[in-house]
Amino acid sequence: MSEETKHVYRLQGLSCANCAAKFEKNIRDIQTVEDVQLNFGASKVAIVGDASVEQLEAAGAFDGIKVYPEREKFNEEKVPFWQKRENKNTMVSLFFLIFGYISTFSAGESSLVTITIFALSILIGGYDLFKVGLKNLVRFEFDMKTLMTVAIIGAAIIGEWGEGAVVVFLFALSETLEGYSMDKARQSIRSLMDIAPDTALIKRGNQEFQIAVEDIQVGDTMIIKPGQKVAMDGEVIKGQSSINQAAITGESIPVHKKTGDEVFAGSLNEEGFLEVRVTKLAEDTTIAKIIHLVEEAQAERAPSQAFVDRFAKYYTPAIMGIALLVAVLPPLFIGGGWSEWIYRGLAVLVVGCPCALVISTPVAIVTAIGNAAKNGVLIKGGIHLEETGRLKVVAFDKTGTLTEGKPEVTDIASLSDMTEHELLSVAAALETFSQHPLASAILRKAAAEKAMLYTADDFQSLTGKGAKAAINGTVYYIGSPKLFEDMLAIPEHVQQSVSQLQAQGKTVMLIGTGEEIKGYTAVADQVRDSSLSIIQKLKKIGIEKTVMLTGDNKAAGASIGKQLGLTDVQAELMPQDKLDVIKSLRAQHGHVAMVGDGINDAPALASASVGIAMGGAGTDTALETADIALMADDLEKLPYTIALSRKTLHVIKQNIAFAFGLKLLALLLIIPGWLTLWMAVFADVGSTLIVVLNSMRLMKTKYK
């Protein structure tokens, strides 16, 4: 779909999957429309070409669908359940149905009074059904409403008025349940939309204005008082406060923000007064991207949903064919009564409705994706949800994923008359001009220990080995053991100490002059506190293999692997090597996830069955490259995501089994002639209700 000519609209009143398919077809029939993409889960439609809101509403008039441009604010009508017109009609229909059965006992089943009461029940409860069903029948469009219309008219013709009334009531109840379930599933998206405020207090010069977020410009200064929600993404320029980011990242503990830190729209300012420079327009904020991606995720069909949709396409005509054969063949060839076998044919028609089957997958997927989004996990489609549910292997990038990604000084040792404090001061002076990540660890340690501030002259970086500079007239070197091997003989006891530290996964830097080693410092990337428990949780939920991919030396990799209880460690890897490892794991195990930061690991993330990026909040690359983004910069949500995906797969399988099983059982009852019309509808309504309630269980899946 071309982005330039695409117009997106939000829909209100889109009640069922069949109605959605018909609405999409009606829009396609508009001559000026080139292409249409309807998203049932998010209740949105994207159109390429020209079509007015009036034309679109005319296309959805059969279901009372209202259409609004995507960016237009509208107050959704919140009509109480019992006050909706169709639900009122259903209740009146039930009243006449009960009254009709009372009349059966007093006036008789065939009396004009009883037939009139049942007819009123059918007409009131089935008005919307017949309006669509009869039009479809004339056009030879066979969907669920067509099947029901034929069944009810047939029941009336053969004198089964009471059964026809029961069928109408149960079908109306089924439609109500389906609409209610989709509304509940969509609420997860609506709750995301309500997270960020519609207006913000903006300071321009000495004046402050309350402005709609759509009118705020990048560079504006936003005032956020204690207890207020942040309306736009931005950077703190004044003040400090604790910010609750649970709505965006799923983190329950507030994060301390100070000058220079990033804040997200939808987060809550708990205590301080902040001035924030706006860095993104309303449509580009992190929460806006999350909403967009969640909605797009619901439009992307999962493999099981695609299968069910294909199956339903052939299933409905097949059921109509079977119903016709059941009604016609026995009276023609074995002398059965026409009335009895037409009745049985109508029962086949009713029980064969694919309603429960059609919604078995989308309700489960929409519910699961919404639940995940509320817990700070962005799943970008049903296909990724299903793949995650089948995972056997999880591969992790080391730096910044299993570890903090921030090296720390772990050891300082003097091998001369210099004190450790002096050694640290010399090391800090040498590293002041260095761009190496390990240099920042030494500088942080020196600042923490209040080391002396020496001045380094004639600094020179020795690529791949270290650096040198003159301090108080003496030239000092800092770098790898290799650097010093080229200048002098390293004593054996020093070599042993270096080897022991390297075996623990530490990087050792020697410090000295051209004639003598003065001491050494060891630096290591710290393993995240939560990494061990996460690996244990993954094993507990059935992940067979956990693999760490790192560019570090084998000793460092093995040390962390042992510490975390990983199944396998692949060390000294370049980005291309990581890609090859992922391909190899997929060939061996089939379903493999790659977890990384979404920047350095893009090729490996793309190659894995599921690419999972950490720290999606504020990171466009992570949001765009990964199949799943963990919005907070930690792995805590990974076991929850896999468990949710597995539960969703189970629910989908259960739904399809329920939908098929109940229908099959009902069809078998036709052979001895036990299946009545109302039992057929009850089987259809029952399977729909089971599928809906079973899918709703996914809302209760909580992050632990």
Catalytic residue annotation = 397
Query: Hey, what's the torsion of the CAs at 692, 85, 19, 652, to 10 degrees?
Result: 0
Determine contact, residues 264/617, Cβ cutoff 8 Å.
Answer: yes
319, with CB counted inside 10 A (0-12, 13-18, 19+), is buried
Query: Hey, what's the torsion of the CAs at 103, 108, 109, 113, to 10 degrees?
Result: -50
Report how far Cα 354 is from the mean position of its chain's Cα atoms. 27
What's the distance, Cα to Cα, between the start and end of the chain in Å? 40
Determine contact, residues 346/320, Cβ cutoff 8 Å.
Answer: no
| Helix pair 382-389, 362-374: axis angle to 10 deg | 80
Taking the CA of residue 186 as centre, how many other CA atoms within 13 Å lie in the half-sphere pointing to its CB? 21
> Would you give the DSSP letter of residue 119?
H
Radius of gyration (Cα) for the chain, nearest Å?
Answer: 34
**Can you tell me which residue has the tokens 């050891």?**
411
Amino acid at site 202 = I
Record the tokens describing residue 2, joined without a space: 């071309």
Backbone angles phi, psi at 195, to 5 degrees: -65, -50
| Residues forming a β-bridge with 471 | 456, 474
Residues in the chain: 704
Determine contact, residues 191/183, Cβ cutoff 8 Å.
Answer: no
7, with CB counted inside 10 A (0-12, 13-18, 19+), is middle
Report how far Cα 380 is from the mean position of its chain's Cα atoms. 5
459 Cβ neighbours under 8 A, 6+ residues apart = 430, 432, 433, 467, 468, 469
Determine contact, residues 378/628, Cβ cutoff 8 Å.
Answer: yes
Angle at 682 between CA 677 and CA 685, to 5 degrees: 130
Q: CA nearest 635: which of 394, 408, 290, 381?
A: 394
Backbone angles phi, psi at 132, to 5 degrees: -80, -45
Q: How far apart are CA 212 and CA 209, in angstroms?
A: 10
Q: How far apart are CA 520 and CA 497, in angstroms?
A: 10
Q: How far apart are CA 307 and CA 236, in angstroms?
A: 50
Look at residue 175 and give its three-state secondary structure.
Answer: helix
Q: How far apart are CA 315 and CA 358, in angstroms?
A: 11
**Can you tell me which residue has the tokens 């999350």?**
290
Report how far Cα 457 is from the mean position of its chain's Cα atoms. 54
Report how far Cα 524 is from the mean position of its chain's Cα atoms. 35
| Residues forming a β-bridge with 222 | 202, 276
Q: CA nearest 604: which of 636, 637, 638, 570?
A: 570
Backbone angles phi, psi at 34, to 5 degrees: -90, -40
48, with CB counted inside 10 A (0-12, 13-18, 19+), is middle
Cα dihedral across residues 29, 35, 38, 43: positive or negative: negative
